[in-house]
Chain A
Amino acid sequence: MTISEVPTSPLAASLASARLAVKVRNASVIYQTADTPVHALERIDLDINEGEFVALIGPSGCGKTTLMRVIADLEKISGGEVLVNGVTPHEARLARAYGYVFQAPALFPWRTVLANVTLPLQIQGRSKADSKDIALEHLARVGLTGFEGKYPWQLSGGMQQRVSIARALSFEPKILMMDEPFGALDEITRDRLNEQLQQLWQRERRTVVFVTHSIAEAVYLATRIVVMSPRPGRIVKVIESPLPDERHLGLRDSPEFIAVAHAVREALADGHHD
């Protein structure tokens, strides 16, 4: 036995991957259409560490949503390997490893705000009293104390999406996945929610995977920005953000912020020229 073998021993490998929230190796997704197969994702490699805030950005059809859906076990890979917390996406989903926030709030109109947030807890069989306490706590974290008795239609679009974030976080998943969660909101609401989400991440340091097509949003929120390109869907560049973890909206006018945004824009343009 030589020393060089030690890091590749199963124990060491599992220790190393324990710090990895998501590991994607050589993953491809191919849709069979009538005439030609479509490569939604081609040979994707990506590691996401625990506590990272990763933004997936790119034009429509670049596979950013597909990549996240693959990680969330909402889509199957045609080839390669995907591990979430060291297990397959399917096992990770059954272990409730992640909370998923969709483009639309998808609140059930027949449930109150509180009952919408307790839904995942109810599915997990938690007691009613526990669920209520937990849900109220999470509603407070997204600034919706006092709205628990309302019905979704009584809330604005921004508030509805905050309820859906509280719902996704109610069972304390290790990973939070967000698919253009603020895409349907006006810019002012969006800015405010970005600020709140950033503060939420700072407090809890939960792993976040965030899909967006807004450069400003990606740069403001993410610690790492993954730039993707379409036909076939692939990663063209991964940009480590030099910005401090503690951020405020005023940062967006700083030279550092503008430099990162510029780098992202360049990468997007490169991907487009290929």
Chain B
Amino acid sequence: MGTMTDTAFKRGVAEFRRQGVPVAAMLLLVLLAWYGGTWALNAPGAIERVLPPDGAWTWQDLLAATMDMQRPVLPAPHQVALDFWSSLVDWPLDSPRNLMYHVAVTAESTLWGFVMGTILGLVLSVCIVHSRTLDRALLPWIVASQTVPVLAIAPIVLVILGSLGFSGVAPKAVIAMYLCFFPVTVAMVQGLRSPQVIETEMMHTYAASRWQALWLLRLPSALPFLFPALRVGIAAGLVGAMVAELPTGAVAGLGARLLTGSYYGNTIQIWSALVMSALLGLALTSVVALVERAMLRHRHQP
């Protein structure tokens, strides 16, 4: 029993050395650079506004002042961490002061957009693969759609959908969808065309219909292409959802939190919202990656 836990412990240590040490070293470097930046960027403001104007301060005073500014140019990591933590524990979940409230708002429109974008991407790719005409007619427009900046599209979509009576989640989800469907479409067109000639001919000898060939051969073949696109898509959808929150008057959501932070020069709030959106993006892509691992676990190619 003791030896077993021993080996498990040793394996754990080895695993940590292999993966944990590089990550920890990188994190340490980033934190050092961040603190350096905090000091350098905040020093002029601290000298001008915080420290006694008569020059009666030491470098320790300056260092302390740059690390604890009210409206720093660059907040120190511990300031962001404190603000982040206090927003989570000091306020109820339904309070706009709690970051989780904004996470819920943004995640909702992201997920709706992701679902709609994925469905749109799947439908478009199936149409494109099955019709030469649609292939030539649709693909240029799909590519062109992505050259229009989402920042320009967002207000237009909000105004038009608003005039049609859609408000709240729907317009934001549509903008998230606009960014989501593209990677899914492109990857699925490639994936649906990935079966080898021999596999297609085999289905032909079984006298399989087009739908049977799609369902039994093309779609399963396309899954390894689909999941990387879904990971990209859900991250892009998050960006879309946050951008869509900006022109709505910035009521709720991580994008809104970013905007109100910048209105009031509350840089610490901006950074907490930034960290939170990064964590949300990470969480969403991880969920997709987990589903991918579960779905493709038998497709071992040695």
Contact = CB atoms under 8 A, between A and B. Distances in A.
Partners in one complex: yes
Interface of A: 72-74, 93-96, 98-100, 102-104, 106, 108-110, 119-120, 122-124, 151, 153
Given A119-B216, A123-B212, A100 B301 contact: no
B205 A123 contact: no
Given A123-B216, A153-B300, A93 B207 contact: yes
Given A119-B216, A123-B216, A153-B300, A106 B198 contact: yes
Contacts of B298: 109-110, 151
19 contacts: A73-B204, A93-B204, A95-B207, A96-B206, A96-B207, A98-B205, A100-B202, A100-B205, A102-B198, A102-B201, A103-B198, A104-B198, A106-B196, A106-B199, A106-B202, A109-B299, A123-B207, A123-B208, A123-B216
The 4 nearest A-B residue pairs measured at CB: A100-B205, A120-B206, A123-B208, A123-B206
Interface string B147-178: 00000000000000000000000000000000
B201 to A, nearest CB: 6
A174 to B, nearest CB: 14
Interface in B225-241: none
Contacts of A72: 205
B202 A102 contact: yes
B205 A119 contact: no
Contacts of A119: 206, 216
A104 B198 CA distance: 8
Interface of B: 196, 198-199, 201-208, 212, 216-217, 220, 223, 296, 298-302
Given A124-B206, A151-B298, 6 more contacts: A74-B201, A108-B199, A108-B220, A109-B298, A109-B301, A119-B206
A153 B302 contact: yes
* Binding site secondary structure of chain B: helix
A68 to B, nearest CB: 11
Nearest to A90: B207
Contacts of B208: 123
B224 to A, nearest CB: 10
Contacts of B204: 73-74, 93
Nearest to A102: B198
Contacts of B216: 108, 119, 122-123
A106 B201 CA distance: 10
Contacts of A98: 205
A102 B198 CA distance: 7
Contacts of A102: 198, 201-202
B301 A153 contact: yes
A109 B302 CA distance: 12
Nearest to B204: A74
Contacts of B217: 108
Nearest to B208: A123
Contacts of B203: 123
